[in-house]
């Protein structure tokens, strides 16, 4: 068994869609980044890459590469699922948290969980998504950014 940890943060900006966990969330601002800036999916990808010993998201999908401009982060996550399978590994558990002051995300958590599980080809019970507020502190508390953290446990398919 191997454990991986991922973290991501993106600033908020006007003129962008807010996408978290592959779900579009109605809001006046979205996350700014080279891709769709889905901080949750980026944290999950980094957790998976870490558990596999494969570096980080920037190594595989550099922001300097125009091929990834505005790409759906779910496409990157699909590639992570493919890499897991290619290496003979499976996702045993994924726990994640989004840290955001606004908007209210709890109504969207089940949708995020379902979307992540679908892309990763695992049962919904394997994936957990929760949210914490920024408690009014730092850039997150001032509603200037949203961050996410994820931790995963992977194992070889033979042990299943």
- Each residue's pLDDT tens digit, 70-104: 899 999 999 999 999 999 999 999 999 999 999 99
Rg (CA), the chain: 15
pTM greater than 0.75 (yes/no): yes
Cα 85 from Cα 101, distance rounded (Å): 36
The answer to whether 115 touches 74, Cβ cutoff 8 Å, is yes
Give the pair of three-digit tokens for residue 109.
């958590």
The answer to whether 107 touches 114, Cβ cutoff 8 Å, is no
Instruction: Using pLDDT thresholds of 50, 70 and 90, give the confidence band for residue 66.
Output: confident
Q: Could you give the domains of the chain?
A: 2-159 (3.30.1330.50)
- Each residue's pLDDT tens digit, 20-56: 999 999 999 999 999 999 999 999 999 999 999 999 9
């Amino acid at each position: 068994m191997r454990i991986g940890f991922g973290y991501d943060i993106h600033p908020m900006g006007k003129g962008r869609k807010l996408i978290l966990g592959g779900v579009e969330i109605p809001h006046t601002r979205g996350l700014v980044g080279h891709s769709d800036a889905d901080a949750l999916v980026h944290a999950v990808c980094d957790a998976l890459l870490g558990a596999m010993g494969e570096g980080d998201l920037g190594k595989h999908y550099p922001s300097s590469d125009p091929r990834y401009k505005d790409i759906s982060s779910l496409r990157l996550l699909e590639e992570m699922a493919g890499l897991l399978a290619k290496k003979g590994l499976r996702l045993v558990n994924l726990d994640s948290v989004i840290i955001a002051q606004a908007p209210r995300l709890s109504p969207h958590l089940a949708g995020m969980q379902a979307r992540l599980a679908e892309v990763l080809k695992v049962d919904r019970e394997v994936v957990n998504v929760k949210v914490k507020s920024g408690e009014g502190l730092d850039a997150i508390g001032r509603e200037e950014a949203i961050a996410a953290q994820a931790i995963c446990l992977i194992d070889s398919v033979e042990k299943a």
